[in-house]
Amino acid sequence: MPQITVDYSASLSDAFDRRTFALSLHELTARIVSTPLDTCKTRFRRVEEAYVADGAPEHAVVHVQLGLLPGRTEAVKAELSEAVLELLRKATAPDAAGTTGLIVHATVDVSELGAAYRKHVGA
């Protein structure tokens, strides 16, 4: 915990510095939800096909899904969502990421992991 998944359009592959984003995301998440940094895990999934509105190629999509253990208030989840969206906007801005010419549709969803969530760390 937290379990983080980032889906992003293939058109962002070269411009989206995923490592830098993940490291910043982990620090932000750990601070806001009061969890140790080493519990944050992020995986990225490149989406080969994503269509917005009329399917024009200048549209790109990036969505961050954060799963947290139950117990965080709605205010904390909203604060995290807003902060992650701002981080995402900066990471995909034309001047920062080389996404000139792309319209990036960025979204964030913070939800609770279910009662069946389990974790094991080891060899």
pLDDT, mean over the chain: 93
pLDDT value of position 101: 83
123 falls in which pLDDT band (50, 70, 90)?
Answer: confident
Residue 118 has pLDDT above 60, yes or no: yes
Short-list 80, 46, 76, 48, CA closest to 63: 46
Q: Which residue has the higher pLDDT, 4 or 119?
A: 4
Would the pTM of this model clear 0.85, i.e. be above it? yes
Could you say which of 2.30.30.90, 3.30.429.10, 3.40.50.300, 3.40.50.720 is the CATH number of the domain covering 3-112?
A: 3.30.429.10
The alpha carbons of the chain give a radius of gyration, in whole angstroms, of 15
pLDDT value of position 89: 93
Tens of pLDDT, residue by residue over 51-60, are: 999 999 999 9
Residue 85 has pLDDT above 90, yes or no: yes
pLDDT value of position 14: 87
Residue 19 has pLDDT above 80, yes or no: yes
Unique residue bearing structure tokens 């070269």: 14
Work out the end-to-end distance of the chain between its first and last CA atoms, rounded to an integer number of angstroms. Answer: 18
**Residue 65, amino acid:** Q
